[in-house]
Structure 1
Amino acid sequence: MHIDHIALWVRDLDQVRAFYETYFGATANEKYSNVSKGFSSYFLTFPDGGSRLEIMQMPGIPDTKNEALSQFMGLIHIAISVGSKDAVDALTQRLRTDGYTIVGEPRHTGDGYYESVILDPEENRIEITA
């Protein structure tokens, strides 16, 4: 078994798609739209071909009541491996330069990871790991 995909509701479908394409090398499928429901989505596939990310948009979906900079129960982050410590450092700096929020600076964790934590354009936590 494996996780096929994780889904996120987003406000700006094309901005979020472009973010994951630009910074993580994701490739989007053709946009799916259900006009009667006002629903649209993309599946984003990453270069390793593993789990995918589905980003979805539909009117009437309420904002989360969780604070982006705080921890909370439930899904808290998505971890994306970029392959090396140098790649973590470089991507974190690129995101900082481009104005994204760095929640956790690059560091070695107690469980053996090297990672940083950033917020995507809609304040979802992303761990960038080696």
Structure 2
Amino acid sequence: MRIDHMALYTFQLEAMRAFYIKYFGATSNEKYLNPRKGFASYFLSFGQEGTPGGGARLEIMQKEQVPAHGLGAGAEYIGLTHLALAVGTRPEVDALTERLRADGYPVVGEPRTTGDGYYESVVLDPDGNRLELVAE
């Protein structure tokens, strides 16, 4: 058994799609539209089966009248708290963290080795979702 995909609602569908393609090498399907429900989505794929990323997918969705969660950007809350993305080596974690910082994305956790042995940093995507950038 494996997790097929995770999904996030957003108010800025195209910006989120561009972010994950630009910084994480995601590939995207064609936009799905359901005008009757006011719904649009993309599936973003990270890697292929048997390769880094393992075919993981993220569905980003937009729908009329889906409320914001009401918490501040990057806040921790009950429920899904972060998405961890393996981005390569420690120097690659450092480089991507600095690239995102230079492009104006908040870094809320500087690169470090955690108590359980992960090397990671934490940045926020355009919607304020917490992304852990981890070394493989």
TM-score bracket for the superposition, by shorter chain length: over 0.9
> Any idea what the Cα deviations from partners look like across 1:15-34, whole Å, max 9, x if unmatched?
00000000000001011000
Give the share of equivalent positions with the same residue, in percent.
59
Q: Which runs of 5+ in 1 are unaligned?
A: none
Partner of 2:24: 24
**Tell me, what secondary structure is at the counterpart of 1:18?**
helix
> Any idea what the Cα deviations from partners look like across 1:84-103, whole Å, max 9, x if unmatched?
10110000000000000001
Q: 2: CA distance between counterparts of 1:69 and 1:16?
A: 15
Partner of 2:120: 115
Note the 1:51-90 alignment, pairs <5 A: 51-90=56-95
Q: In the TM superposition, what is the alpha-carbon distance from 1:68 to its structure 2 partner?
A: 2.9
Tell me the TM-score normalized by structure 1.
0.96
Q: In the TM superposition, what is the alpha-carbon distance from 1:50 to its structure 2 partner?
A: 2.3
Q: 2: CA distance between counterparts of 1:2 and 1:10?
A: 25
Instruction: State whether residues 46 and 57 of structure 2, in contact with CA within 8 Å, keep that contact through their aligned partners in structure 1.
Output: yes
Q: In the TM superposition, what is the alpha-carbon distance from 1:49 to its structure 2 partner?
A: 4.0
Comparing 86-95 with 45-54, which one deviates more in the overlay? 45-54
Q: Within the alignment, does 1:93 sit opposite 2:98 as a pair?
A: yes
The CA RMSD over aligned residues, in Å, is 1.0
> Any idea what the Cα deviations from partners look like across 1:70-114, whole Å, max 9, x if unmatched?
322111000000011011000000000000000100000011100
Q: How many residues align?
A: 130
Pick from 103, 108, 111 the counterpart of residue 103 of structure 1.
Answer: 108
Partner of 1:4: 4
Q: 2: CA distance between counterparts of 1:120 and 1:53?
A: 13
